[in-house]
Amino acid sequence: MILTVTDNEKLAIGLDYGGKNIKAGLMARDGCILTEHQSATGAELSYQAVVEKLVLAIRELLVGNESRVIGVGIGSPGLIDLEGTTIFTSPNFLYWKDQPLKKDLQKSIDLPIFINNDVNMLAIGEHRFGAARGCRNFICLALGTGVGGAIFVDGELYRGATGTAGELGHMTINFDGPICKCGNRGDLESYIGADYLVKRASKKIRGCPELTPKIIAEMAYQGDRDAAEVMAETGRYLGVACASFINIFNPEKIIIGGGIAQSGDILFRAIQDEVGERAYTQLVKNVEIIPAQLGNRAGLMGAAATVFESIRG
Whether residue 144 sits in one domain with residue 34: no
For the chain, the maximum distance between any two Cα atoms, rounded to a whole number of angstroms, is 60
Whether residue 308 sits in one domain with residue 272: no
Of 91, 151, 144, nearest to 123 (Cα)?
A: 151
Beta strand segments in the chain, E:
3-4, 11-17, 21-28, 33-40, 69-76, 79-80, 87-89, 113-117, 138-143, 147-153, 156-157, 253-257, 288-291, 311-312
CA distance 253 to 36: 30
Those residues whose C-beta lies under 8 Å from the C-beta of residue 282, and which sit 6 or more positions away, are: none
Please give the full DSSP string across 230-261, using - where no structure is assigned. HHHHHHHHHHHHHHHHHHHH--SEEEEESGGG
Whether 130 is covered by a domain: the verdict is: no
Whether 128 is covered by a domain: the verdict is: no
Give residue-wise pLDDT tens across range 29-84: 999 999 999 999 988 889 999 999 999 999 999 999 999 999 999 999 999 999 99
Please give the full DSSP string across 128-167, using - where no structure is assigned. HHSTTTT-SSEEEEEESSSEEEEEEETTEE---SSS----
Give residue-wise pLDDT tens across range 255-291: 999 877 777 789 999 999 999 999 999 999 999 999 9
Q: CA-based Rg of the chain, rounded to a whole angstrom? A: 19
- pLDDT given for residue 306 in this prediction: 98
Whether residue 243 sits in one domain with residue 148: yes
CA distance 70 to 17: 20
Whether residue 141 sits in one domain with residue 109: no
Count of domains observed in the chain: 2
- pLDDT given for residue 1 in this prediction: 46
CA–centroid distance for 54 within its chain: 18
Whether residue 259 sits in one domain with residue 150: yes
pLDDT tens sequence for the chain (313 residues): 445 454 558 999 999 998 889 999 999 999 999 999 999 998 888 999 999 999 999 999 999 999 999 999 999 999 999 999 999 999 889 889 999 999 999 999 999 999 999 999 999 999 999 999 999 999 999 998 889 999 999 999 999 999 999 999 999 999 999 999 888 999 999 999 988 999 999 999 987 778 988 889 888 888 899 999 999 999 999 999 999 999 999 999 999 998 777 777 899 999 999 999 999 999 999 999 999 999 989 999 999 999 999 997 5
CA distances from 279 to 36, 246, 275 (A): 42, 7, 6
Whether residue 278 sits in one domain with residue 152: yes
Full residue range of the structural domain in which residue 281 is found:
135-292
Whether residue 153 sits in one domain with residue 281: yes
Model pTM score = 0.93
Whether residue 111 sits in one domain with residue 44: yes
Whether residue 144 sits in one domain with residue 119: no
Is the CB of residue 24 less than 8 Å from the CB of residue 307? no
> At 177, is the secondary structure helix, strand, or coil?
coil
CA–centroid distance for 259 within its chain: 12
Whether residue 279 sits in one domain with residue 301: no
- Say which CATH number the domain at 40 has: 3.30.420.40
Whether residue 56 sits in one domain with residue 167: no
Whether residue 305 sits in one domain with residue 288: no
Whether 129 is covered by a domain: the verdict is: no
Whether 285 is covered by a domain: the verdict is: yes
Whether 43 is covered by a domain: the verdict is: yes
